[in-house]
Amino acid sequence: MSGTETRPDRGQSRERGHGPGVGRDLGVGHSAPRPDGTLKVTGEFAYSSDLYLADMVWGATLRGPHPSARIRSVDVGPALAMPGVLAALTCEDVPGELFYGLDRRDQPVLAADRVRYQGEPVAIVAADHPERARRAAAAIVVDYEVTEAVTDPRRAAFDPSCPAVHDGGNVVRHQPVRVGGDFTAPVVVTGEYEVGMQDQAFLGPESGLAVPAEDGGVDLFVATQWLHVDRDQIAPCLGLPPELVRLTLAGVGGAFGAREDLSMQVHACMLALRTGRPVKMVYGRQESFFGHVHRHPARMRYEHGADLDGRLRYVRAEILLDGGAYCSSTPAVVGNAASLGVGPYEVPNVWIDAYGVYTNNPPCGAMRGFGAVQACFAYESQMDRLAEACGLSPVEVRVRNAVSQGSRLATGQVIDSPAPLAGMLRELAAMPLPPEPSRTAGPVAVPPPAGPARAAAATSVPDPAGVRAPGAAATPDLLDLPGGVAQTTHGEGVRRGVGYGVGIKNICFSEGFDDHSTARVRVELLGGEPHVLVRTAAAEVGQGLVTVQEQIARTELGVERVTVAQADTTVGSAGSTSASRQSYVTGGAVRAACRAVRERLAVLRANGETLAETLERAGAVEETRVYRHRPTFPMDPVTGQGDSHAQLALCVHRAVVDVDVELGLVKVVELAAVQDVGRVLNPLALEGQIHGGSAQGLGLALMEEVQVVDGRVLNPSFTDYLIPTILDMPPMRVSVLANPDPHAPYGLRGAGEPPTLSSTPAVAAAVRAATGLRLPRVPIRPHDIAMDGSRYGNWAGDRSL
């Protein structure tokens, strides 16, 4: 069954099934409904792709087809000659800076002398109809000289003869972590792991509307994650001061990291300024696959050394992240992979080298989990192998090494808030397991039924011969089997497996970044009643931040009527909707501004006056506050030491799968999760975050991969890039802990990303338990199970002493 369990001693009771009612508390800790919910279910919510102005025209982008090529010439003449075409622009038309980027300004607004990845923008056009714009873009003639593409990240990193994708070499960042010096142990397990390139695959493709303004500036309505950093990249490229580039958040159809970098922003503004007309740009699904960064694919080598009792003595790791053609946020992704590379375990000796490299593959950057996802798959796979080697259950080996409050990370940072990992694992393991698939009459071999003790241990390789279910011959209901109605066997090869995964994620921006948010809160009388207006630049992308902002204002000010204004750049930066940080940082800013308003009101208020009377007499009260979390510090470039993170969050998953080992089909039967969120702000919205993060981790484990061969993407569509459907997503058991972090507003802990980490290794471990295969790569494809499994050797045969 699906459901969240919250015990009375730890959080708010579950409120699913109750709509907002009169007098119901809709403040912090309650399942206040989304203020945008009604607009979203009636189709009235205006997404960036829904914007319309009567005189607007349409922009389109011409993208280079080659992963690496020199551009000899670009001729926009044929496009300009077409009816309805208003402009066709190239790099020579960029009014200001030619490059932008989150970390390094290395990405051309439009390619100049060369293209570095398949799909790089070369020219843009504006026309009076989207189809005319598309055809005009296609009519532009570009003369390319194809050059050698660098597509092997290992070669890019370590082969001096490899061509440089950018001047200055291919290594974007190398971050070592060095602790201790004893790399010997009686039990050693080694493994090489790979994570494929995952796409955020938000359902609302990149889009926006740029409107030229009379003051020579531009107003841009766009779906993004961070309005101010967009503006600070756009304005220099347009040659405009930042105050002439005004951004307003349009409705965001999902983000997951993919809107952290610019896509059509500068292009639409350039076309608007050139044509003097509002310009709308909307990517199609295929273009979207080329229009944003992906999750870094990773190649990782791990060696874990432990005592015979399973306690870790050392971890050595090399983590190689393919950043693709441009820098994006690769340095920060490398920082996360390095600092969290051993996972939430106490390890006295650590030797990690994490690299992010340039190649001519698609650019990679932010995606939910950000660098911690890749390492988590590898270290959790290693923990299972260590369990096997030491004869321990996966839960026990993790419990024995689990961090807790006071533990030291590999970076030397001490965990100074609750981190009850061992207890979380025990709780997870004690959750009841789902029943075996229902069976009807007929003879068939099935694996032994998993009793609680055996299944909780979950490492036993199922008896390959199988045994009959007790109580007589049984045939599984095909509808319950992996593949469902598409099953072509009668389930003879179906095996059940159970696996565990643990993840640790940094919350908020790390490594010394000045991470802050700004909130303006105004209390006034509206229709004779007190009303609160909250204004921030924080991007609501579906996670429910607008709800949380309202709840905070209600709780802090005791006013029921609260409105959160549409986010724009008329107020200070809120930072990015990334790193699970907005409830913490923008929530902190809203709380601080509310408290400042409250203090002002306390001074203004005369004895016995109601709030309405005070506001009537004294007028509106407005305060703006900037909130910063505690400072973080850079990692030492040689040793990796440093208190680089503001907050750390833990999530643990158990996955139960049925695998048809002959067909290679996997059905996830159940996911269970335990997560410590510090404080539950909104139980219903939190549950959604845990479901969603778990689903995306499941996708990475079993189906999601941008397939890139020789720098070319093979599957830029939802026919070929598969994301979990409602049939793939199993029922979930969720248990939420609320051990407050004393450093954070309300004690909260960022919640959106941690489940994305731990569900992937849990599902992979469950498939391994069911098949006995090593499966060192995600996503695990059917042929990894059914065809090529033998080359990985037997799961149990890898013990090294």
Partner 1 sequence: MNGETDITGADGVPDPVTADLRLSVNGVPRPVTVDTRETLLDTLREHLGLTGAKKGCDHGQCGACTVLVDGRRALSCLTLTVTADDVEIVTVEGLADGDALHPLQAAFIENDALQCGYCTPGQLCSAAGALAEAADGWPSAVTPDLSAPPRLDETEIRERMSGNLCRCGAYPGIVAAVGQVAR
Sign of CA dihedral 137, 139, 144, 148: positive
Report which of 45, 128, 146, 163 is spatially closest to residue 542, judged by C-alpha positions.
45
Q: Where are the alpha helices (DSSP H) in 159-250?
A: 227-238
Residue nearer to partner 1 on the CB measure, 37 or 239: 37
| 30 is a contact residue toward partner 1 (CB under 8 A) | no
CB of 729 to partner 1, least distance (A): 4
Residue nearer to partner 1 on the CB measure, 287 or 322: 287
Pick from 303, 643, 687, 753 the residue near partner 1 by CB under 8 A: 687
Window 627-646: residues binding partner 1 (CB under 8 A): none
Binding piece for partner 1, criterion CB under 8 A, among 359-367, 416-424, 560-568, 723-731: 723-731
Pick from 6, 11, 34, 173 the residue near partner 1 by CB under 8 A: 34
Q: Which two tokens stand for residue 233?
A: 């990249």
Please name the residue that has the structure tokens 């909307």.
282
Window 72-91: residues binding partner 1 (CB under 8 A): 82-83
| 695 is a contact residue toward partner 1 (CB under 8 A) | yes
Residue nearer to partner 1 on the CB measure, 719 or 790: 719
Could you give the maximum distance between any two Cα atoms of the chain, in Å? 84
640 touches 411 (CB < 8 A): yes
Sign of CA dihedral 538, 753, 378, 152: negative
Q: How far apart are CA 225 and CA 98, in angstroms?
A: 23
| 213 is a contact residue toward partner 1 (CB under 8 A) | no
Q: How far apart are CA 535 and CA 556, in angstroms?
A: 15
Helix (H) or strand (E) holding 221: strand 218-222
CB of 699 to partner 1, least distance (A): 9
Pick from 69, 125, 188, 201 the residue near partner 1 by CB under 8 A: 201
| 54 is a contact residue toward partner 1 (CB under 8 A) | no
CB of 64 to partner 1, least distance (A): 23
Pick from 38, 570, 610, 800 the residue near partner 1 by CB under 8 A: 38
Q: How far apart are CA 82 and CA 77, in angstroms?
A: 9
CB of 779 to partner 1, least distance (A): 16
Pick from 52, 167, 441, 470 the residue near partner 1 by CB under 8 A: 52
Stretch 564-583: interaction string toward partner 1, x if CB under 8 A:
--------------------
Q: How far apart are CA 256 and CA 407, in angstroms?
A: 30
Pick from 400, 625, 691, 781 the residue near partner 1 by CB under 8 A: 691
Residue nearer to partner 1 on the CB measure, 282 or 425: 282
Report which of 368, 460, 539, 413 is spatially closest to residue 772, judged by C-alpha positions.
460
Residue nearer to partner 1 on the CB measure, 82 or 444: 82
The strand ranges marked E within 573-709 are: 621-628, 647-660, 665-676, 708-709
| CA distances (Å), origin 182, targets 306, 319, 339, 342, 759 | 11, 21, 19, 16, 32
Residue nearer to partner 1 on the CB measure, 539 or 559: 539
State the burial class of residue 728 (Cβ atoms within 10 Å of its Cβ: 0-12, 13-18, 19+): middle
Window 332-361: residues binding partner 1 (CB under 8 A): none
CB of 134 to partner 1, least distance (A): 12
Report which of 596, 594, 592, 600 is spatially closest to residue 627, judged by C-alpha positions.
592
| 696 is a contact residue toward partner 1 (CB under 8 A) | yes
Residue nearer to partner 1 on the CB measure, 202 or 795: 202
Say if strands 475-476 and 439-440 run parallel, antiparallel, or are unpaired: antiparallel
Q: How far apart are CA 652 and CA 654, in angstroms?
A: 7
Window 269-288: residues binding partner 1 (CB under 8 A): 282, 284-285
Q: Which two tokens stand for residue 636?
A: 């030492």
| 41 is a contact residue toward partner 1 (CB under 8 A) | yes
Helix (H) or strand (E) holding 734: strand 732-737
Q: Which amino acid, residue 537?
A: A
CB of 591 to partner 1, least distance (A): 23
Looking at the chain, the number of H-run helices and the number of E-run strands are 18, 33
**CA dihedral of 138, 139, 145, 151, whole degrees rounded to 10:** 0
| 289 is a contact residue toward partner 1 (CB under 8 A) | no
Pick from 202, 290, 355, 509 the residue near partner 1 by CB under 8 A: 202
Residue nearer to partner 1 on the CB measure, 76 or 685: 685
CB of 180 to partner 1, least distance (A): 40
| 543 is a contact residue toward partner 1 (CB under 8 A) | yes
Pick from 22, 441, 485, 602 the residue near partner 1 by CB under 8 A: 485
**Interface residue list for partner 1 (CB under 8 A):** 2, 16-19, 31, 33-34, 36-38, 40-47, 49-50, 52, 82-83, 135, 200-205, 251-256, 282, 284-285, 479, 484-485, 541-544, 684-685, 687-688, 691-696, 717-719, 723-727, 729, 731-732
